[in-house]
Each structure stands twice: as C-alpha cells, then as structure tokens.
Amino acid sequence: MTARIALTLPYPERDHIAGSAEGSIKLLEYGDYECPFCGDVQPVVKEIQRRLGDELLFAFRHFTLSNIHPHAEHAAESAEAAGAQGNFWGMHDLLYENQGALEDENLVEYAAELGLDGTRLIREVTSEVYARRIREDFKSGVRGGVNGTPTFSSTGSVTTAHVI
C-alpha cells in the first residue's frame, strides 16, 4: 500500500544524516527500531546508500509506535545516546540487526560493542534525556501525515512501504 504525504526534507543541521549534505538526492525515513517492516527495509536502504554514494543525503527520524512496540522508545533513546557519544549510525544499525533483543541489558551490550560508555548510555536512556527530541521527530511526522512505519520522503513525495 502506498500513500502520498507532504513532509519536510532532511535538515542536515538537525537530523541524523548519512552521506553528503550536498547530495542531490535527499531521502528521509521515519522509523521505529522494533517495527518488523522497518527491519525488512533496512537492507534496501543500505543498498540505495551504497549505489548512490555521495549523491544521497539520507536522514532518519524516530517515529516510535510504543503502543505496539514496547521497546521502541528505549531503542530510540539508545540511538540518541550513542549519537551523543559520536556513533548514532553504529547503534542504529545494531538495533535493526537485533530487533528481537532490545531490552536495556542488550542496549548496554551494543554500547560496549561500539566502544561507547554503556553506563552513561543506559543512564541517559532510563532518564529519558532524549525523549523531547524523539517526540519532536514523532510530531513532525504526524504533522506531515505519517501514520505508520517505515515512511519515506524524497524530494517532496512520501511513501509508506510495508515490505512483505
């Protein structure tokens, strides 16, 4: 099922971006680390990034569906906490690779695997240090018409993709 929605494009000064800020192609994903559809689409996103290289600016925003994914909020918090330690994308990838293991103790393990301060990370997660940022991402998606994950925006058009 495909739905067209009007969303803003990525803001390199605010969003987590991969690729070149000068990339001629801009792709924004609203995702949830516990969403199986988001997990299914990650290899496709990685292949797009590989093929387009510096032509692509890819950004990720949180759209946690906590009512159906009980670990999504802490997973998003851990990605933000990892970002504060300089490794958002490493944690992002580990969370999607390990969607079945998103308990707090798993998040500490992933932090260690990435060489991050796990004590700091879990303290920030459980204190909801990044909750405001995650809510801002969610609200921007709602304002743009996002109602499921994953949702993508590219050059002004958006598609919600449920991968089978």
**For the chain, how many structural domains are there in total?**
1
- Dig out the tokens for 75 from the structure: 């997973």
Residue 1 in domain: no
Answer yes or no: is 8 within a domain: no
pLDDT of residue 14: 82
Is 156 domain-assigned? yes
Establish if 119 belongs to a structural domain.
yes
User: What single letter denotes the amino acid at residue 107?
Assistant: L
* Structural domain contains residue 106: yes
Q: How far apart are CA 73 and CA 66, in angstroms?
A: 6
Residue 67: what are its φ and ψ, rounded to 5°?
A: -65, -25
Query: Looking at the domain assignment, is residue 108 inside a domain?
Result: yes
Per-residue confidence (pLDDT) for residue 164, from 0 to 100: 35
The verdict on residue 95 lying in a domain is yes
Q: What is the CATH number of the domain that holds 133?
A: 3.40.30.10
Residues of the chain whose pLDDT is less than 70? 1-7, 9, 155-164
Q: Tokens for 48, please give them.
A: 């797009």
Q: Give CA–CA dist 3/151, Å, rounded.
A: 9
Whether residue 130 is contained in a domain is answered as yes
Closest C-alpha to 135, from 78, 77, 53, 96: 77
Q: Which domain holds residue 58?
A: 16-160
Is it true that the peptide bond before 150 is cis, omega within 30 degrees of 0?
yes
For 47-68, write each residue's pLDDT tens digit.
999 999 989 999 999 999 999 9
* pLDDT per residue as tens digits for the range 112-132: 999 999 999 999 999 999 999
CA distance 102 to 94: 10
Nearest to 101 by CA among 66, 71, 145, 125: 71
Rounded CA gap, 60 and 15, in Å? 7
- How far apart (Å, rounded) are the C-alpha atoms in residues 161 and 164? 9
Closest Cα to residue 121, out of 74, 154, 163? 74
Q: In what order do the strands lie in the sheet with 56-62?
A: 16-19, 56-62, 25-31, 151-154, 157-160
